[in-house]
């Protein structure tokens, strides 16, 4: 399976070299430790090597990048906004903003803009507000994605983590956006905010029912709060248990090795037909103590008595490392615990 850093193929680098009149560009870029570089490091390597082939004047260099960017669409084209981030002089703010706006149409400027957001938040948010009203969905998305306080792979924005209110007018302007590309960004941004300032997202749930696009955004923006079983959020989405609901016959793989798979099943009985959000939580054993993670099984109409079964991988991942010990499995319905059992995880089996 190819790695994301491999998007910079020999052919792509040769084409870029031709576009900047640098026949040796591929060889220059790939010298030394190229194979060891991660994706973002390769982006920076290419951007910095472009410097020697582009005009010394920033205005001319930016214009040249804007001209060739349509020939290099998609993720690899992120090197052009990266060049703007690195080499825009302090007194070229407006030209840098114009370049990032134009370049994001062909790739994304969401990482490059953060230098400017960190340097002058008020001034940048004025620009981002204008972008939020653009006719181009890529530019509207940049208004949201570029200001996300915890953008994956991007620099954190401590001031907006501490107080996200300055960016809310931008997100509010995009709550009915026609483009799914934009709506996903707004939902992810609001979900980021929900992790530290849930009240700001809960306030916006009053807009449920005003527009289908708004409903979609707010539902996805509330996923962390729903997993946390937040009462007000569950109620806003109609997930309030009626009548009597029970969970029984919970069975689970009693013992499994790291690298194996947990299998479990159970029955749900409800005295009233209703939509139920059915989840499970696993209390994972960590180096120190335990850490709980919630997973969704379904959210649908349940009538009478129904059976559910699920499997959960215990393979080690870069994002989750497993440890031996007694783990706990809990079945959650509409955010409340209904049944709990334990199972043991042993060391990974060796051949």
Domain boundary among 210, 236, 262: 236
Cα–Cα dist 193/211, whole Å? 22
Same domain for 140 and 66, yes or no, is: yes
* Residue 296 lies inside a defined structural domain of this protein: yes
The residue segments making up the domain with residue 254 are 245-346
* Residue 129 lies inside a defined structural domain of this protein: yes
Same domain for 255 and 231, yes or no, is: no
Q: What is the domain count for the chain?
A: 2
What are the pLDDT digits (tens) for 180-214?
Answer: 999 999 999 999 999 999 999 999 999 999 999 99
Q: What pTM value is reported for the model?
A: 0.90
Provide the CATH number for the domain around residue 24. 1.25.40.290
Q: What are phi and psi of 211, to 5 degrees?
A: -165, 140
Provide the CATH number for the domain around residue 281. 2.60.40.10
Q: What are phi and psi of 296, to 5 degrees?
A: -90, 140
Same domain for 34 and 113, yes or no, is: yes
CA 345 → CA 71, 228, 325, distances in Å? 52, 25, 5
Half-sphere exposure of 164 (CA within 13 A, CB side): 24
* Residue 220 lies inside a defined structural domain of this protein: yes
Question: How high is the pLDDT of residue 351?
Answer: 62
Same domain for 257 and 315, yes or no, is: yes
Half-sphere exposure of 318 (CA within 13 A, CB side): 0
Q: Is the pLDDT of residue 127 over 70?
A: yes
Instruction: Extract the tokens encoding 39.
Output: 């994706």
Q: How confident is the model at residue 317 (pLDDT cuts 50, 70, 90)?
A: confident
Same domain for 205 and 105, yes or no, is: yes
CB 324 within 8 A of CB 330: no
What are the pLDDT digits (tens) for 102-118?
Answer: 999 999 999 999 999 99
Same domain for 109 and 219, yes or no, is: yes
Share of residues in the chain with pLDDT > 90 (%): 95
* Residue 17 lies inside a defined structural domain of this protein: yes
Same domain for 285 and 187, yes or no, is: no
Same domain for 210 and 80, yes or no, is: yes
Same domain for 232 and 249, yes or no, is: no
Question: How high is the pLDDT of residue 2?
Answer: 74
Same domain for 138 and 188, yes or no, is: yes
Q: How confident is the model at residue 348 (pLDDT cuts 50, 70, 90)?
A: confident
Q: How confident is the model at residue 38 (pLDDT cuts 50, 70, 90)?
A: very high
* Residue 323 lies inside a defined structural domain of this protein: yes
Domain boundary among 236, 268, 289: 236
Average pLDDT over residues 18-31: 95
Instruction: Extract the tokens encoding 180.
Output: 């799914």
Question: How high is the pLDDT of residue 224?
Answer: 96
What are the pLDDT digits (tens) for 83-100?
Answer: 999 999 999 999 999 999
Average pLDDT over residues 309-313: 97
Average pLDDT over residues 5-31: 95
* Residue 262 lies inside a defined structural domain of this protein: yes
Q: Is the pLDDT of residue 176 over 70?
A: yes
Same domain for 85 and 172, yes or no, is: yes
Q: Give bridge partners of residue 330 from the DSSP assignment.
A: 281, 340
Same domain for 229 and 275, yes or no, is: no
* Residue 351 lies inside a defined structural domain of this protein: no
* Residue 283 lies inside a defined structural domain of this protein: yes
Q: What is the mean pLDDT of the chain?
A: 96
Cα–Cα dist 141/106, whole Å? 13
Domain boundary among 177, 206, 236: 236
Cα–Cα dist 185/144, whole Å? 6
């Amino acid at each position: 399976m190819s790695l994301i850093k491999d998007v910079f193929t020999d052919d792509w680098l040769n084409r870029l070299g031709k576009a900047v009149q640098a026949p040796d560009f591929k060889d220059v870029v790939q010298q030394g430790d190229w194979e060891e570089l991660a994706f973002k490091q390769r982006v920076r390597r290419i951007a910095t090597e472009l410097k020697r082939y582009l005009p010394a004047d920033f205005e001319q260099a930016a214009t040249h990048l804007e001209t060739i960017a349509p020939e290099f669409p998609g993720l690899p084209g992120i090197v052009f906004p990266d060049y703007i981030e690195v080499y825009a002089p302090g007194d070229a703010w407006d030209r840098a903003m114009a370049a990032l706006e134009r370049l994001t149409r062909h790739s994304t400027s969401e990482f490059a803009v953060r230098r400017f957001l960190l340097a002058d938040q008020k001034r940048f948010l004025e620009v981002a507000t204008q972008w939020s009203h653009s006719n181009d969905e890529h530019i509207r998305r940049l208004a949201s994605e570029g200001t996300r306080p915890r953008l994956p792979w991007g620099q954190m924005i401590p001031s907006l983590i501490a107080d996200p209110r300055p960016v809310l007018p931008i997100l509010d302007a995009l709550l009915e956006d026609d483009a799914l590309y934009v709506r996903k960004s707004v939902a992810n941004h609001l979900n980021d905010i929900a992790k530290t300032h849930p009240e700001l997202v809960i306030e916006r749930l009053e807009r449920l029912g005003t527009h289908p696009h708004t409903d979609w955004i707010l539902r996805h923006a509330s996923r962390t709060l729903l997993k946390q079983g937040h009462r007000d959020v569950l109620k806003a989405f109609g997930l309030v248990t009626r009548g009597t609901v029970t969970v029984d016959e919970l069975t689970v793989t009693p013992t499994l090795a790291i690298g194996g798979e947990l299998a479990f099943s159970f029955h749900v009985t409800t005295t009233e037909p209703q939509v139920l959000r059915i989840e499970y939580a696993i209390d994972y054993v960590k180096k120190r103590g335990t850490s709980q993670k919630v997973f969704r099984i379904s959210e649908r109409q349940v009538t009478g008595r129904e059976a559910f079964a699920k499997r959960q991988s215990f393979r080690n991942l870069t994002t989750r490392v497993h440890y031996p010990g007694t783990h706990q499995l809990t079945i959650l319905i509409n955010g409340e615990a209904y049944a709990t059992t334990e199972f043991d995880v042993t060391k990974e089996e060796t051949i």
